[in-house]
Structures are given as structure tokens and as C-alpha cells.
Amino acid sequence: RKEVEQDPGPFNVPEGATVAFNCTYSNSASQSFFWYRQDCRKEPKLLMSVYSSGNEDGRFTAQLNRASQYISLLIRDSKLSDSATYLCVASGNTPLVFGKGTRLSVIA
Amino acid sequence: SQTIHQWPATLVQPVGSPLSLECTVEGTSNPNLYWYRQAAGRGLQLLFYSVGIGQISSEVPQNLSASRPQDRQFILSSKKLLLSDSGFYLCAWSPSGGETDTQYFGPGTRLTVL
């Protein structure tokens, strides 16, 4: 079983749409969770940390469900510039375990 | 503020040739350092990480090696490259003691082995 699993997509959504990504993690001892964004042929960059109580940063909302071991990312009012691959990350037996990413394309 | 550098940005090497990729971090002391590889269309694979000078943990057996000769320098090497070594190599750092903290990535080296 993969440690962090994500739907690879692609998710193709129109501008202004709301889109949600989910990811599951297998290590119940994981304590730290993050969402990273990776643009084509670039390095991953931290989008936001995920806290137990859930957290919001502008149009982005992250949620953690420890009982079900999943993490979600909600993007509201999608912009063309949101097109990227979104990586779900959980701490694990190695320092951090990265999912393979979910590709988002926002279309005009 | 902290910055992380990697070079070269791109590299094309023949099979069987040696490899040396360098990563340096500025603006922090005793960082944790990581090497990842991302093959085309694949996820990030952790190759090595280091919590201090001379301390290297290997995650995947392969023909690659890593060294940390200075506090903020991390080097990835190979004596003989394979075709399967092609990929996007990323160096990252996290604060000292923060193995499960946020990692910050360098710009990466895109390696093509022919």
C-alpha cells in the first residue's frame, strides 16, 4: 500500500469553479501534513501546512481527518494561475512522504 | 532569509560517465538536507538525507552516493550513470531538528542520460 495516495487527475475546471482534492495517508503516526504546489518543470513550493483544526489561506482551505486518515484541499474561485500539480505530504517513516500529485488545469 | 542553490540547472551525460551535483544553503545553520529524484511523470523519490556533516541516510539502494563535506553543502554523486538515472534532481532543506517540518526545495537539476 502506498504511503500517500492521490487521484492523479487531471482535473479540468473552468475559471471561477470550486475544486477539491483528497489524499489518504497510511501511517497513523503521521503528525505533520502539507500541500505543495509544483508548476511544470519547476521545484515544489509549499502552499500551506494542514492543521488538525483545519486552516484557510485566502481561496485555499485545507482539512485533516485523522480518523479516516485523509487530507483535503479546497480551492475556491479558481484562477488560470492555479493550474499546477498539487502534492499531498505527510510525515512518515522517512522524514516526509510526498504523494505523486494531482494535476489541475483551469481553463478560460 | 534562507536560500538554496543547485547547479547545474541542466545536464546531459552519456551512460557510464560520472556525476556530481551540488547543493548549498545560505542563511541557516545545521540544516537537514535532502536529495530527491523525480522521474518523468512520477512522484518524488527520497534518495538521501543528512542531519549533519558526514551523516548520510540512504533511502534507496542504487548507484548513487551522497556526501556532506560542509554544514551547508550536499553533494550527489555517481561513478557510472545508467539510463534510469535520468530525471529531475531536487535538493531540499529543513530546519535543524525538524525532520518532519516543512522542506524547502532548490530549483533542481534536470539530468538526461543518453
A-chain CB neighbours of B106 within 8 Å are 43
Instruction: Give the tens place of pLDDT for each residue, A94-103.
Output: 678 899 999 9
Q: In this structure, what C-alpha cell is assigned to residue B85? A: 538515472
Q: In this structure, what C-alpha cell is assigned to residue A56? A: 484557510
Q: Which amino acid is at B45?
A: Q
CA distance A101 to A79: 19
Nearest 10 degrees: Cα torsion A51, A55, A57, A60: 100
Contact B105 A96 (CB under 8 A): no
Q: In this structure, what C-alpha cell is assigned to residue B107? A: 530549483
Neighbour-count burial of B6, counting CB atoms closer than 10 A to its CB (0-12 exposed, 13-18 middle, 19+ buried): buried
**Cβ of B35 under 8 Å from any chain A Cβ?**
no
Nearest to B94 by CA among B30, B21, B40, B13: B30
Instruction: Give the tens place of pLDDT for each residue, A25-83.
Output: 999 988 889 999 999 999 999 999 998 888 999 999 999 999 999 999 999 999 999 99
Query: 3-state DSSP call for residue B83?
Result: helix
Q: Which of A32, A43, A100 sits opposite B105 (nearest CB)?
A: A43
pLDDT at B90 over 90: yes
| C-alpha distances in Å from residue B71, one per residue of A49, B19, B31, B52, B93 | 27, 21, 8, 7, 12
The pLDDT score that the predictor gives to residue A33 is 94
Q: In this structure, what C-alpha cell is assigned to residue A85? A: 500539480
Q: How confident is the model at residue A1 (pLDDT cuts 50, 70, 90)?
A: low
Mean pLDDT of chain B: 92
Cβ atoms of B56 and B67 within 8 Å: the answer is yes
Instruction: Give the tens place of pLDDT for each residue, B28-83.
Output: 999 999 999 998 878 899 999 999 998 999 888 678 999 999 999 999 999 999 99
B-chain CB neighbours of A49 within 8 Å are 102
Neighbours of B32 (CB within 10 A): 22
CA distance B46 to B75: 14
pLDDT at B5 over 60: yes
pLDDT (average), residues A10-27: 96
Contact A32 B107 (CB under 8 A): no
Percent residues over pLDDT 70 in chain B: 96
CA distance B34 to B32: 7
The pLDDT score that the predictor gives to residue B40 is 80
The pLDDT score that the predictor gives to residue B99 is 64
